[in-house]
Structure formats: structure tokens, C-alpha cells
Amino acid sequence: MKEKIEELSPLALAFLGDSLHTSFVRMKVLKGQREKLSTYHLRAKKFCNASAQAKALDFLQSELSEAEQEVVRKARNAHNKHSAKNFDEETYKKATAFEALIGFLFLTENTKRLEEILQKSMKIIEEN
């Protein structure tokens, strides 16, 4: 798959990144005490929305490598026919770029960097 990553659109990377980010957050939310399903959902929703992802990307932007910045740039500029119901276009584009970055790191098998970005993003969202 590594050699075919360049063939994927930034929106395809975002499609994958969205599911990876959500899975990561849900695993973190499930750790600890037992809760009602609705409580898990509310806790995860804090991290899994366009506003939170855009904020995380803003904070992480200066730490990104050239290749990561290129993925983010392409994803932000990608023409997406879908739009978020509750967020402005700029926020939605940043969230899509964040998700594309996650998808890119996963597909390039850069698991250490992926874990670092996911951990930092949760910390950023938690603190802001």
C-alpha cells in the first residue's frame, strides 16, 4: 500500500483518518471506570468534531514535517462536496486536513509519529 499512497486523494486519506482518530479516542475514553454508553459518547464527542480537530491542527502545525505539511495543505485545498452541518467551511477544511494527516501517518506506517500526534491532539483539546 505504501507505494500507492500518492495515488490516494487527500479526501480518501481523511476518510481513513476519521475512523482511526475516532477509534483512538474511543479506546482512550473506555479506559478507566465503567460508564453508561451515553457518557462514553459525550466524552468522545469532545474530541471527535470539526472544531476540536481544527484546533488540534492549529496547535500542531508548527511541529509538522515538510511531508506532513504537504498532506495538510493538499487536504485543506481539496474540493469536498460534503460540508459539516454545525461548522463553518474553514473549520471543516482544517478538520479534514487533520484527518488526512492521521490517514497518511497510518498508511506510511509511521506508528510512532501517529501515536504522538493523536496523544498531543487529545491533550490540546483537553486543555483548550
20-76 tens-digit pLDDT:
999 999 999 888 678 787 788 888 899 999 999 999 999 999 999 999 999 999 999
CATH class of 2-127: mainly alpha
pLDDT of 80: 73
Domain boundaries, the chain: 2-127
**pLDDT for residue 1 is more than 60:** no
From CA 106, how far away is CA 112, in angstroms rounded?
10
Which pTM does this prediction carry? 0.90
Residues taking part in catalysis? 18
Question: Taking the CB of residue 57, how many other CB atoms lie within 10 A of it?
Answer: 24
